[in-house]
Amino acid sequence: MAAMRGTSRALRAIRINRGATVFGSAPPPATAPRWSAVPTPERRSGMSTLIPPGKTLGEVTHVDLLEKENADVVVKIWREYHEGKSGKTGAIVEPRVYDALSDRSKVCPMFVMPLHKSMSQYLTLVVQSKMPYVSFTAIEDFRKLQDAATPMLVASHYPELAASKGLALVQAVHVDKTTAGAAEHLTTQEAVRLVRLCHTFYAEDDLYEKFVKPFNHNQKDFDFDAMVLKVRDLTWSDEHLNAGWGQDAK
């Protein structure tokens, strides 16, 4: 309970610059020119609705059929299954990454993730993990409505094939341009990037220790500006984060 109160205080303390409700301007590094900020839209009162993915892989596909195939074929089937599906995307995650997220989210169930729309503008989302689900909610919606807020993305993780195929599957549903009532939306690339960023920050020891743990347990040591810059650097330097679909980096 104390940890939850602490994370709520941390969320309230995060700046949302220039009066915008969900957008902020990324702080420039000392050696870089100051970025010019693009106009930031206001959120409308209309809320979108997402139906979460199935809680188990058996609710999504025929596990017994996938078990008969090798890992490469499973990846191909999972990719083709999601091609052309509006507001729905899939990804592959290594078992070690899934295990890290599953274990660490038990003690660090909340986080915050800036999603860069440009070099200077980012959308701030609250990350909540209750495996197999990880949800991403616009920070202003979360501040107003807490757990009643509608997420912009919900990702479900399926470890059923981890032992036999050496991979876990992820299915994410997200607000896209066809979603009624959505003030903002995510592209498929942005949805995949959000999921991969979450995996990266929970699975990589240095990022977990520097950002995720302080956010949950020692908020005075959590540096949101440093987090924004780190995500920006990853976004524009890591081709894997910007790929349309695929397997998490080793």
Report residues of the chain scoring pLDDT below 50: 16-23, 26-48, 244-250
Q: Which ranges in 94-250 belong to alpha helices (H)? A: 95-107, 139-145, 162-165, 188-203, 205-207, 213-217, 224-237, 239-242
Token code pair at residue 111: 């986080």
Q: What are the residues whose beta carbons fall under 8 Å from the beta carbon of 104, sequence distance 6 or more?
A: 202, 208, 212
DSSP-assigned states of every residue in 34-49: PPPPPP-PPPPS----
The pTM of this model reads 0.80
Q: Determine the pLDDT at residue 210.
A: 98
Instruction: Name, in order, each residue with C-beta under 8 angstroms of 119's C-beta and a sequence gap of 6 or more.
Output: 26, 35, 232, 236
pLDDT of residue 2: 54
Instruction: Give residue 181's pLDDT.
Output: 60
3-state secondary structure 77-133: HHHHHHCCCCCEEEEEECHHHHHHHHHHHHHCCEEEEEEECCCCEEEEEEEEEECCE
Per DSSP, the three-state class of 182 is coil
Q: What is the pLDDT of residues 121-167, one digit of tens each?
A: 999 999 999 999 999 999 999 998 887 888 999 999 999 999 999 99
| Rounded CA separation 198/129 (Å) | 10
Burial state string for 78-107 with b = 16 or more CB within 10 A and e = fewer than 16: bbeeeeeeebbbbbbbbeebbebbbebbee
pLDDT, position 243: 52
| 19-39 pLDDT tens trace | 333 445 544 433 332 222 222
Q: What are phi and psi of 128, to 5 degrees?
A: -125, 125
How far is 9 from 216, CA to CA, in rounded Å?
10
**Cα torsion angle, 128, 37, 41, 9, sign:** positive
CB 153 within 8 A of CB 135: yes
CA of 68: how far to CAs of 59, 62, 161, 162, in Å?
18, 11, 11, 14
Check: CB of residue 132 under 8 Å from CB of residue 116.
no
CA–CA separation, 229 and 90 (whole Å) = 27
pLDDT of residue 42: 33
Q: What SS3 class is residue 242?
A: helix
